[in-house]
Structure 1
Amino acid sequence: MTAVPLTPPHRLHLVVLGGTGFVGSHLLPRLAAHGHSVRVLSRNRERHRELAVLPGISVHSADVYDRATLVRHLRDADAVINLVGILNETGGARFRKAHVDLTATLMAACRESGVRRLHQMSSLRAGEGQSMYLITRGEAERVVRASGLNWTIYRPSVIFGPGDGLVTRFAALLRRLPLLPLARPRARLAPVAVQNVCAAIVRALATPESVGSIYELYGPETLQLIQIVRMVRDAAGLRRPILPLPDTLGYLQARIGELLPGTPISVDNFKSLALDSVGEQDGLAALGIVPQRFSVALPQLLGGRHDHTALLDAARRVSGLTPEDRARLP
């Protein structure tokens, strides 16, 4: 995969599924800052009224699993961005429904409404191993590649940033527990900043050569899970022993974790960690993005407020920029 040039920016009308999740909450201000018009489909728009302050962003209550509903919201769109994904099955949320069934319904709705451009979030190692999360991510990719649409797929490693499920989760566990047992301590990860993931999507929106591309998104540091947890502990100024578990005990911990509030770890998470989440083709480099280092960002993540006030303010400030000014945005 080679570096690609950006076309002159222009205002796009986008529909975003999963826009109120972790990645979406960081992506929307960036899309607004670039002057795009974005329709966010959510189960309950009233729970996300704060997004209305973003210029060009509108939130609509919609059942994204209903084809007719999707067709109605997609009709005048230039592209759709699908960020829907779950890390664990809880309540009515099931991997196959969220990843495969939804993607198939979305593909049909795109064809019916005339939308040809799709941006699909996936995961590194999609389709590999025994984890249903990775298996269904791979199945969704196959649905996308067979759709006949102009698609782009993003495969991030574990993502870090304000409000993430990595630093935030381990910091909370370390503060609460006198000792942290750790399953799959030697699993290798290449954490990628949420800002870099969002920048990749924004760049690809303006890059015709991104059609038909799969971008592996990963950071410049490959770390074992136990290294990451130790770094979080030390940056937080905590004194907590971390106990690496053999796989037999790690699996037992995962079984117990499924019964605990918040599901700190599940059996499917345990299976996912059997595969190293590291990439082979640098999608960030291909899009001209300099990756942020996890070790450099960590102190700020632990020391700052985990809200999006600064992002919202930035989006409001740049909403009046010219297209040429927006082209210089990261």
Structure 2
Amino acid sequence: MSPRPFDHVVGKNLTSVKFPVVAGLPGPEGLKTHLRGHLLRMSNVGALRVLVTGATGYIGGRLVPRLLEAGHQVRVLVRDPAKIRSVPWADGVEIARGDLTDAASLREPFRDIDVVYYLVHSMNSDGDFEEAERRSAENVASAARDAAVGRIVYLGGLHEHSDRLSTHLRSRTQVGEILIDSGVPTMVLQAGVVIGAGSASFEMIRHLTNRLPVMTTPRWVNNHIQPIAVGDVLHYLAAAATAATSESRTYDIGGPDVLRYGEMMQIYAEVAGLARRRILVLPVLTPKLAGMWIGLVTPVPLSIGRALIESLSTDAVAYEHDIDAIIAAPSGGLTPYRDAVALALRNAENTEAGWDGAAADPLPTDPAWTGEIVYTESRDAVVRADPQRVWEALLHWSSRHGHWTVENKQEPTLLELHGPGRARLQWRIESVTPARTRLHQHASYIPKGLPGQLYWLGLKPLHRIGLRRAMQSVIKESEGRR
């Protein structure tokens, strides 16, 4: 079993442990007394009591199930509890209402907590978001001190050690510094581009590469990036709860590959089966203009695209590997970038996100703009026939259209067909009365690159006519009409 936080301290004379002097606290001796009770409590409890902020976000929504699987008692802090009650693991966690910008709302949720995960970061540049981020970090630091929390774990961003940081990277760095200086033992894990379906950084790579066989980019396309698979990020985050260290500091985490951003797009194209992309570097294209351009040609929101672009204006690589001394790499090693992309794309043809997939798969809580572009066409009708008659007519229709192959058949309620490319046609049969049946038709098409998008958009009227005729054909045969 992995050691719990501060196992190397429990049982020792706490006078030998050095604590920082923090404004507003009773000083080192008071801190030692404050923490002693926490250490004794943790030494007698097998499962840690964990508070997760940002549980509805990309990382938080994937981390909570891992913490539960590890046997921890999980409490999630959300502004709107209704958003969390529909997730499958909601019954396994305690839901607390609170807002990081409201210090008073944090007192009760932080009570009796061993480890706090700080997974909140705004990608919105509206207003003075830096001030809001700073205030939130100070509130968390204060609440954690007052509640004798044993550890804070924060996910920050890889960055250069320079004054050229973007506004968002500077803000994330400042949050980490506030937490480190809080007097509560803090681990700040700094990751670069996270690769997985639903990750904003990955979605920008996906949409740019899918849509643009030729693209103009700023000079940052030649900057060095150390991407990391989302599964590996979750591995480090989950293990941080029990890591045997009392240091408050940053730890760089990254995958095994260091690539130029342009290389990352080319590798994505190879994995996705697309032709090699032509990338034209324009030195005069500023990050602000590039962010606006991304907002026009991709579904990535303008504010997020601009924040991501600005963060790419400097290298994002690991400058140290000290994490290896306290947390072992995932079983099988860190995931290469090419494999991480393949994992993110493996369920691309599944147009409905679910909760039972891997870390790299999409979740229902991911933003609507993430994931593959999917064109859909749906219709339904009530047929004057029993379900069995409709089922037989449906099978007859599919046998006469050889370009559709049966992928899933559940007599007499469901028929799923796979068509050319990444086209799917689903038929569902629902009994209304013994002599009436509701027939649902749902077609979906995932385009492959720009040619696939142009194909669908150019032939959309013909697709609609063909699907409507298919529906009418099944209805007529079911009702015995010609």
Q: Common fold, TM-score beyond 0.5?
A: yes
The TM-score, its normalising length taken from structure 1, stands at 0.82
Aligned residue in 1 for 2:193: 158
CA gap of 1:265–1:22, structure 2 versus 1, over 3 A, is closer
Task: Tell me, in whole angstroms, the C-alpha distance in 2 between the residues paired with 1:89 and 1:135.
Answer: 13
Aligned residue in 1 for 2:356: 309
Matched-pair contact (CA < 8 Å) for 2:291–2:309: no
Matched-pair contact (CA < 8 Å) for 2:187–2:249: yes
Task: Tell me, in whole angstroms, the C-alpha distance in 2 between the residues paired with 1:132 and 1:166.
Answer: 17
Provide Cα deviations, 1:21-54, integer angstroms capped at 9, x if missing partner: 1111221111010011111112222223233535
Provide Cα deviations, 1:201-231, integer angstroms capped at 9, x if missing partner: 2222112315424221101100100010111
Q: Which stretch shifts more, 34-43 or 217-226?
A: 34-43
Matched-pair contact (CA < 8 Å) for 1:235–1:299: yes
User: Which residue identity does 2:78 align to in structure 1?
Assistant: S
CA gap of 1:175–1:268, structure 2 versus 1, over 3 A, is closer
Aligned residue in 2 for 1:185: 221
Task: Tell me, in whole angstroms, the C-alpha distance in 2 between the residues paired with 1:107 and 1:214.
Answer: 16
Task: Compare CA radii of gyration and give the structure with the larger one.
Answer: 2
Alignment of 1:209-248 (within 5 A): 209=245, 211-239=247-275, 241-248=277-284
Matched-pair contact (CA < 8 Å) for 2:157–2:191: yes
User: Which residue identity does 2:143 align to in structure 1?
Assistant: A
Task: Tell me, in whole angstroms, the C-alpha distance in 1 between the residues paired with 2:278 and 2:122.
Answer: 27
Q: Which stretch shifts more, 300-309 or 152-161?
A: 300-309
CA gap of 1:173–1:275, structure 2 versus 1, over 3 A, is closer
CA gap of 1:201–1:252, structure 2 versus 1, over 3 A, is closer
Task: Tell me, in whole angstroms, the C-alpha distance in 2 between the residues paired with 1:48 and 1:239.
Answer: 41
Task: Tell me, in whole angstroms, the C-alpha distance in 1 between the residues paired with 2:181 and 2:280.
Answer: 42
2:328 pairs with 272, 279, 288, which one? 288
Provide Cα deviations, 1:232-287, integer angstroms capped at 9, x if missing partner: 12221223733333231243532524865612865543432222110121255331
1:300 pairs with 333, 338, 343, which one? 343
Matched-pair contact (CA < 8 Å) for 1:16–1:80: yes
RMSD of aligned alpha carbons: 2.7
CA displacement at 1:198 relative to structure 2: 1.4
Tell which has more relative contact order, 1 or 2 (C-alpha 8 A, sep 6+).
1
- The 3-state SS of whatever aligns with 2:221 is coil
User: Which residue identity does 1:7 align to in structure 2?
Assistant: P
State percent identity of aligned pairs.
24
How many corresponding residue pairs?
306
Provide Cα deviations, 1:121-161, integer angstroms capped at 9, x if missing partner: 21112774231112112222221222111111111121112
1:276 pairs with 315, 325, 331, which one? 315
Matched-pair contact (CA < 8 Å) for 1:130–1:272: yes
Aligned residue in 1 for 2:3: 7
The TM-score, its normalising length taken from structure 2, stands at 0.58
CA gap of 1:257–1:67, structure 2 versus 1, over 3 A, is farther
Task: Tell me, in whole angstroms, the C-alpha distance in 2 between the residues paired with 1:84 and 1:32.
Answer: 20
Alignment of 1:1-330 (within 5 A): 6-7=2-3, 10-53=46-89, 56-90=92-126, 94-98=129-133, 100-125=134-159, 128=162, 129-177=164-212, 179-183=214-218, 184-209=220-245, 211-239=247-275, 241-251=277-287, 253-254=289-290, 256-257=292-293, 260=296, 262-263=301-302, 266-286=305-325, 287-289=327-329, 290-304=333-347, 305=350, 307-310=354-357
More helix per residue: 1 or 2?
Answer: 1
Matched-pair contact (CA < 8 Å) for 2:160–2:314: no
CA gap of 1:24–1:39, structure 2 versus 1, over 3 A, is same
CA displacement at 1:16 relative to structure 2: 1.0
Task: Tell me, in whole angstroms, the C-alpha distance in 1 between the residues paired with 2:305 and 2:201.
Answer: 14
Task: Tell me, in whole angstroms, the C-alpha distance in 2 between the residues paired with 1:182 and 1:302.
Answer: 24
Task: Tell me, in whole angstroms, the C-alpha distance in 1 between the residues paired with 2:177 and 2:340.
Answer: 35
Q: Which stretch shifts more, 141-150 or 160-169?
A: 160-169
- The 3-state SS of whatever aligns with 2:59 is helix
CA displacement at 1:196 relative to structure 2: 1.4
Q: Which stretch shifts more, 252-261 or 114-123?
A: 252-261
